Amino acid sequence: MHRYPKPKMKNQYSPNLSARIPFGLRGQELLSIEEVPRGLACDCRCPACGARLMAKKGAKQAHHFAHYRGSACPGALETGLHLKAKEVFESVRRVAVPSVYLYRQTVPIFEAQLLHFERVRLEQHLGKVVPDIILEAGTKRLLVEIYVSHSSGEEKARKLKKLGLSAIEIDALGIYRKLISAFGQFRTSAFERELVHGLEHKRWLFNDKQQRIEYKLRKQAAERPVKHRNYKGYHSYIVPGCPLEKRRWRSGFRGGEPFADLWQDCLYCHRCFEVIYKKAIAGFAEVPQEPLAVRCWGHLPLPKAVGWGRSV
């Protein structure tokens, strides 16, 4: 069987990034690979296990630290990126956050913002959560989670929602890979710049203002009844009086009146919160049956909100 040659990569480096450590500890000081001499002269230790490191600064591979003897510990890269991120935010006390979108909306309620803070706290308990970084300014508070090997799951998002704590997650490993791919070498200045000002590798875990606006809209939303329609053997569900006037009756006593098709219009409408179903008990569980109504806020104006800080 004919074998095609593998394409050459622009930056050839081992896919095992866990062995490529960008930071080492010298005493209590966290140093990047750019700041130390080659080999054992770097006098650095692994930030995770404390083993001796050597600085590999050759011409073929991306510069990095490696364990002098023995196999690399799996937490070295994660610990190094975590420590550097905490050091950066403790110093600059500002961060750019992504845009905020309401449920099903395509236009942001808050544009991307560069937020400034007065105080920084690291890994302190807030109720049942221990965020990596807490940024504070007056009564405002933003939590920052640094993601390397494990992303924040739904359980943590539920805890943040219950406590009303706004939080973002930064994919530090994604930034690290991006820099290696783009430059062929790790650059500390570029890493710091992406942590603070970048938006590509950030996402909202929870936004308290977004939840408050959505809660208000949900309370003001109307429950519009769904009506079953059987026309020439075809079954459909319609919602009379659609405020967005998706469709209109062409004739009959309802001629000219607006309506919407539940499956074609409401199900994907950006002003529809949910479809309410009639339910039946089956095996100790509630099973949705036919649709009864839709919770719609099409009659309400789009909310306007003021951002938190200076735009990015």
pLDDT in tens, 262-299: 999 999 999 999 999 999 999 999 999 999 999 999 99
pLDDT at 135 over 60: yes
pLDDT at 20 (0 to 100): 79
Name the 3-class secondary structure at 40. Answer: strand
Residues 121 and 60 in one domain: yes
CA 185/CA 168 separation, integer angstroms: 27
pLDDT band at 3 (very low <50, low <70, confident <90, very high): very low
The pLDDT of residue 17 is above 80: no
CA distance 177 to 8: 18
Whether residue 284 sits in one domain with residue 273: yes
180 & 31 share domain? yes
Average pLDDT over residues 215-236: 92
Return phi, psi of residue 48, to 5°.
-95, -55
Please report whether residue 89 resides in a domain: yes
pLDDT at position 149 is 81
Strands 234-240 and 258-261 turn out to be antiparallel
157 shares a domain with 82: yes
Stretch among 61-75, 134-148, 198-212, 268-282 having the lowest mean pLDDT: 61-75
Residue 129 lies in a domain: yes
Q: How many angstroms separate the CA atoms of 116 and 302, rounded?
A: 28
How many structural domains comprise the chain?
2
Residues of the domain holding 179: 8-220
Based on the fold, state whether residues 172 and 44 are members of the same structural domain: yes
Mean pLDDT throughout 145-165?
87
Question: Do 239 and 206 lie in a common domain?
Answer: no
- Pairing label, strands 167-171, 140-147: parallel
| Domain match, 213 and 258 both | no
Quick one: 214 and 277 in the same domain?
no
Q: How far is it, in rounded angstroms, from Cα 53 to Cα 67? A: 5
Q: What is the pLDDT of residue 103?
A: 92
The reply to whether 151 and 234 lie within a common domain is no
Domain-embedded: residue 307: no
